[in-house]
């Protein structure tokens, strides 16, 4: 039906102008929203102060309810699992017990590994953790996979820091308020984590799919190197995520890629550990620091004996060298090293 030719709400001038003004405001608001969105797309860090403030204002509500939330979490988990794994609950619980025992063994091995690494002088560039925080909520209404963390810049949390749980990697901080932070989970579609397979060190990129699973993309063409049950850990390439944090386990293969499930389920864990970026240089450009000198590329010929820089003499001194980047200087297992 055609609109009536006379759309006036009546003879009142005030009502007519009010209606017209309403549309002017709405359309102007539409344009402003479009501009805001364009800014958000071009510079996701824009409006950090506003969004951080909103995060601070809303997180107490969320974290206050978290004590009641085991209940909600149970319901949410049950609904989510119902289609896939509702009937397998008992089996999963048994598996969990087995995995916990395994985990203890792994922790012991890790401690020993750390001790041996220290003996070798391959100490980490940064101290281990920033803070311990609770995961209090998530964006369950939007296609993004973001979680809210109950610690912010007052606890030392900064944008770009990796977040993990004792089980595995959770994600990376993308927004920070004073008392709360927002985490981009590894299952989000815009999350890319460089990983490698434990079994044979095949490197891959773990890209979230938005539905709680992760897609693994390799550089290799042809044969799919993954098998069901393969565990993937971070490789440390890129310098944000520390190496050897478990990320995902392969659940099925799809053509050239593999679909994996994250090992750390943010819905079931209580505490998350915020860590420093593995190599602060990886986030340096984001903090508008003076440009770092470029490190020598992988496989650069070693300096001739006698000409070695004095800064590289001992491990401790080497770490103070701003160009020192262990992941670049010691190729990770599975990293491609060009022939010399």
Partner 1 sequence: MSRIAGSSTEVAIRDLRRRFVPFFSTVIAIALALLPVVASAPLVPDLGFLALVTWRLLRPEIWSAQVALGLGLLNDLVTGNPLGQSMLLWTGAFLAFDLIDSRLGFRDYLMDWLIGAGAIIFHTVGAWYIALLMGSDVRFAIILPQMGLGVLAYPVMARIVLALDRWRLMR
User: Least Å distance between CB 40 and partner 1?
Assistant: 4
The CA distance from 148 to 139, in Å, is 8
Say if residues 216 and 205 touch (Cβ distance below 8 Å). Answer: yes
User: Least Å distance between CB 338 and partner 1?
Assistant: 30
Q: Is 145 in the site for partner 1 (CB under 8 A)?
A: yes
Q: Is 187 in the site for partner 1 (CB under 8 A)?
A: yes
Q: Is 12 in the site for partner 1 (CB under 8 A)?
A: no
Q: Please identify which residue in 163, 188, 203, 318 interacts with partner 1, judged by CB under 8 A.
A: 188
Q: Is 124 in the site for partner 1 (CB under 8 A)?
A: no
Q: Please identify which residue in 125, 130, 137, 280 interacts with partner 1, judged by CB under 8 A.
A: 137
The CA distance from 170 to 186, in Å, is 6
Q: Please identify which residue in 161, 175, 176, 206 interacts with partner 1, judged by CB under 8 A.
A: 175
Q: Using DSSP, how many helices (H) and how many strands (E) does the chain show?
A: 7, 12
Complex with partner 1: residue 65 or 315, whichever CB lies closer: 65
User: Least Å distance between CB 140 and partner 1?
Assistant: 4
Q: Please identify which residue in 8, 17, 33, 313 interacts with partner 1, judged by CB under 8 A.
A: 33
Q: Is 166 in the site for partner 1 (CB under 8 A)?
A: no
Selected range binding partner 1 among 97-105, 201-209, 273-281, 303-311, rule: CB under 8 A: 201-209
**DSSP E strands, 139-219:** 146-149, 162-164, 169-176, 181-185, 192-197, 203-208, 214-218
User: Least Å distance between CB 48 and partner 1?
Assistant: 11
Which positions ≥6 away from 337 have C-beta within 8 Å? 298, 299, 331
Among candidates 252, 248, 213, 253, which has minimal Cα distance to 232?
248
User: Least Å distance between CB 206 and partner 1?
Assistant: 13
Q: Is 56 in the site for partner 1 (CB under 8 A)?
A: no
Among candidates 195, 200, 148, which has minimal Cα distance to 174?
148
Among candidates 246, 257, 151, 148, which has minimal Cα distance to 193?
246
Selected range binding partner 1 among 27-35, 116-124, 247-255, 306-314, rule: CB under 8 A: 27-35
Selected range binding partner 1 among 40-48, 109-117, 159-167, 300-308, rule: CB under 8 A: 40-48
Complex with partner 1: residue 36 or 308, whichever CB lies closer: 36
DSSP for 300-319 reads PPPPPTT---GGGSSHHHHH
Q: Please identify which residue in 151, 173, 207, 259 interacts with partner 1, judged by CB under 8 A.
A: 207
How far is CA 71 from its chain centroid? 26
Selected range binding partner 1 among 41-49, 228-236, 250-258, 303-311, rule: CB under 8 A: 41-49
Q: Is 27 in the site for partner 1 (CB under 8 A)?
A: yes
Any bridge partners for residue 164, and if so which?
A: 169, 273
User: Least Å distance between CB 154 and partner 1?
Assistant: 19
Selected range binding partner 1 among 65-73, 157-165, 231-239, 302-310, rule: CB under 8 A: 65-73
Three-state SS at 297 = coil
**DSSP E strands, 110-236:** 129-138, 146-149, 162-164, 169-176, 181-185, 192-197, 203-208, 214-218, 231-234
Q: Is 224 in the site for partner 1 (CB under 8 A)?
A: no
The structure tokens listed for 1 are 């039906």
Say if residues 180 and 55 touch (Cβ distance below 8 Å). Answer: yes
């Amino acid at each position: 039906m055609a609109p009536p030719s006379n759309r006036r709400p009546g003879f009142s001038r005030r009502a007519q102008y009010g209606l017209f003004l309403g549309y002017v405001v709405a359309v102007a608001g539409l344009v402003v929203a479009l501009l805001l969105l364009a800014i958000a797309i071009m510079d996701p860090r824009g409006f950090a102060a506003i969004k951080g403030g909103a995060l601070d204002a809303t997180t107490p509500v969320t974290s206050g309810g978290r004590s009641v939330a085991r209940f909600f979490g149970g319901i949410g988990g049950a609904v989510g699992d119902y289609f896939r794994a509702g009937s397998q609950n008992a089996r999963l619980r048994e598996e969990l017990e087995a995995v916990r025992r395994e985990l203890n063994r792994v922790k012991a091995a890790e401690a020993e590994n750390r001790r041996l690494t220290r003996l070798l002088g391959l100490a980490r560039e940064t101290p281990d953790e920033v803070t311990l925080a609770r995961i209090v909520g998530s964006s369950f209404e939007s296609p993004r996979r973001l979680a809210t963390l109950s610690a912010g810049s007052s606890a030392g949390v900064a944008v770009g820091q990796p977040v993990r749980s004792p089980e595995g990697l959770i994600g990376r901080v993308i927004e920070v308020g004073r008392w709360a932070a927002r985490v981009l989970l590894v299952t989000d579609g815009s999350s890319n984590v460089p990983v490698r397979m434990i079994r044979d060190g095949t490197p891959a990129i773990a890209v979230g799919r938005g539905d709680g699973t992760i897609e693994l993309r390799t550089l290799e063409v042809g044969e799919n190197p993954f098998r069901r049950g393969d565990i993937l850990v971070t490789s440390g390439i890129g310098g944000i995520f520390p190496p050897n944090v478990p990320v995902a386990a392969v659940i099925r293969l799809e053509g050239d890629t593999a679909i994996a499930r994250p090992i750390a389920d943010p819905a079931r864990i209580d505490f998350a550990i915020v860590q420093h970026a593995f190599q602060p240089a990886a986030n340096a450009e984001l903090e508008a620091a003076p440009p770092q000198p470029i490190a020598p590329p992988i496989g650069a010929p070693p300096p001739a004996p006698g000409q070695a820089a004095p800064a590289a003499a001992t491990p401790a001194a080497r770490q103070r060298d701003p160009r020192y980047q262990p992941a670049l200087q010691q190729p990770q297992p599975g990293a491609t090293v060009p022939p010399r």
